[in-house]
Amino acid sequence: MALYGIDAVIFGVQDMDASLRFMRDWGLHERSISPDQLVFETRDGCAVIVKPADSPDLPAAIEGGNTVREVIWGARDQKGLDETLVRLGDAVSIGTDGLPRVSDPNGLSLAFRVTQRRPVTGAPTMPNAPGAYHRIDKRGPVITQADPIQIGHIVLFAADFAAMRAFYTEQLGFVVSDEYPNHGCFMRCQIRGGHHNLFILNRPGKAGINHVAFTLNDIHEVVGGGLAMSRKGWNTEIGPGRHPISSAYFWYFENPLAAPLEYYADEDYCTEAWEPRIWERRPENFAEWAVAGGIDGATRRQKIKAEDSTRGHK
């Protein structure tokens, strides 16, 4: 398939100073800092670009407030990029930066380029079990700072769910991994790859960003990175927890860039043999288990009562 994954995400924000502090705390790698643009990277070179919300060169926002203004998708090579542009046909325009662009049915700007990401091999801590010892004469780690590997996926609220599903599957060639009928669709842009690069959720007439997710090594880094963020004063949206769909461990944080950002690890890896399932839309299919309000970095205990959890995760 032509596309390789997310190459960059561009945010438009109200508070550049708070955004700078968040990205440093999140564990991203600083590339350039100026009053009108912050550029950070994940370990594999996926770019996180932040600009003031009123920057004239930003694409139009699909929702109010701090939000994602553009997603840049990377093709593995020039041939893959050319294939993508042929599929999109006359909808493509070339920006002043030379990148080809379209808008999806939500109105979100999508740009395309040959990927600038570098291959990175994760180093998860292997578990021990009776008769299956992977970690011998070596203690498990205590992680004190996350170091995100890549931006693994983005989740969008779809104003027109059918149009969004058709655009990404038929025009961009994404493959469905799992689905809530007429409500949610998990998609990946490679036959062989992580469970999803994109998840769309039906929210008729109201386009938006649900979250952007950063891949970590393992559950140790999810928890250690989350505790570090808590100690630095950032509020949990929900987590840590585990998704039954995709199998990933997660921790979502409120932030000054957009809707919640997610740390996650240990998602399913799909191939041609993967069998998509139709799932009933139920809270237990969002989270097998989850901590409401996060874990306090100082006490290392749950922060709030479960009944005070917000944003539809009860």
Task: Determine the residue type at 106.
Answer: N
User: With 60 as the cut, is the pLDDT of residue 307 above it?
Assistant: no
Task: State residue 304's pLDDT score.
Answer: 67
- Whether the Cβ atoms of residue 189 and residue 112 lie closer than 8 Å to each other: no
CA–CA separation, 252 and 78 (whole Å): 35
Phi, psi for residue 61 in degrees, rounded to 5: -80, 145
Q: Measure the CA–CA gap between 282 and 200, rounded to whole angstroms.
A: 16
Give the orientation angle of helix 219-231 with respect to helix 16-26, to 10 degrees.
140
- Whether the per-residue pLDDT at 221 is higher than 70: the answer is yes
> What structural domains does the chain harbor?
3-114 (3.10.180.10), 150-308 (3.10.180.10)
pLDDT at 308 exceeding the cut of 90: no
Closest CA to 99 of 110, 107, 87, 89: 110
Q: What confidence category does residue 293 fall into, taking pLDDT thresholds of 50, 70 and 90?
A: confident
Confidence grade of residue 300 (pLDDT, cut at 50, 70, 90): confident
In a 13 Å sphere around the CA of 164, the CA atoms on its Cβ side amount to 27
The dihedral over CA atoms of 197, 125, 288, 307, expressed in degrees to the nearest 10, equals -100
Quote the pTM value: 0.95
Please say whether the beta carbons of 248 and 266 come within 8 A: yes
User: Cα separation of 150 and 48, whole Å?
Assistant: 10
* 297/220: higher pLDDT: 220
What single string gives the DSSP state of each residue in 14-43?
S-HHHHHHHHHHHTPEEEEEETTEEEEE-T
pLDDT over threshold 60, residue 198? yes
State the average pLDDT over residues 27-36: 98
